[in-house]
Amino acid sequence: MRISLIAAMSENRMIGNKSRLPWPSLPNDWANFFKVTEGCRMIMGRKSYDTPDRLSSKVGNFVITRQADFPLEEGFTRASSLEDALEHCKNDKEVFVIGGEEIFRQALPLADCIHLTLVHGIFEGDAHFPEFPKEDYELKSRQDFPTDEQHAFAYSFLVYERIS
Ligand SMILES: NC(=O)c1ccc[n+]([C@@H]2O[C@H](COP(=O)([O-])OP(=O)(O)OC[C@H]3O[C@@H](n4cnc5c(N)ncnc54)[C@H](OP(=O)(O)O)[C@@H]3O)[C@@H](O)[C@H]2O)c1
């Protein structure tokens, strides 16, 4: 099983602010998210599940929570820890960890690949994408996009692969 992370962060590493994204919607980032993750199951923290901006996979999702009776909508399965969620996915070709900060922190040491959208701006927020050891990863690709009518901020798609 390949473990991939996918996140969007600002230049000051913000990924969330009061349970919302810190920046106005970037439609091309949503499109990239669904293109990259297509056909794969997703793992998220309970707080990310609870956000209005919640993203999910059509083929299955795990929500990590310590609350044994936490009610979940159809298409979502409770997991008691990241390890528990990964155990459920062990026969999958690839699984995506989609946030938030707490879950990224736990998953980063296990990540084979990191898809990072860098939003070119400085934003206020209360959730970060953790620093990760750049020497452990190779930047495989980078695509840069300018602002346009639909995108108030320039952004870049970065793909890091772990150097084995
Ligand atoms: N920009 C992005 O790419 C992106 C992506 C996703 C989320 N976000 C943002 O990130 C923020 C949320 O991040 P967050 O760090 O606050 O929360 P989170 O990582 O989404 O969820 C944290 C919750 O996960 C559960 N949890 C964490 N570790 C666990 C463990 N070892 N065992 C069992 N359960 C565990 C706990 O749930 P219980 O409290 O229920 O036990 C904990 O409260 C939001 O602002 C959201 O918008 C941004």
Q: From 5, 6, 65, give the residue whose CB has the most ligand 1 atoms within 8 Å, as the site to mutate.
A: 65
Instruction: Provide the 3-class DSSP secondary structure of residue 36.
Output: helix
Section 140-158 average pLDDT: 98
Closest atom of ligand 1 relative to the 16 alpha carbon = 45
- Tell me which residue range forms the domain holding 34: 2-162
Report how far apart, in Å, the C-alpha atoms of 6 and of each of 30, 69, 73 are: 11, 28, 22
Query: Residue 51 C-alpha to ligand 1 middle, in angstroms?
Result: 10
pLDDT bracket for residue 116 (50, 70, 90): very high
Instruction: Return mean pLDDT, the chain.
Output: 97
pLDDT digits (tens, 9 = 90+) for 26-74: 999 999 999 999 999 999 999 999 999 899 999 999 999 999 999 999 9
How many domains does the structure of the chain reveal?
1
What residues contact residue 32 under an 8 Å CB cut-off, 6+ apart? 115, 117, 157
DSSP H helices, 4-144, are 27-37, 46-49, 82-88, 101-107
Nearest to 85 by CA among 115, 44, 57: 44
CATH number for the domain that contains residue 34: 3.40.430.10
The two structure tokens encoding residue 142:
């980078």
41 lines ligand 1 (CB under 6 A): no
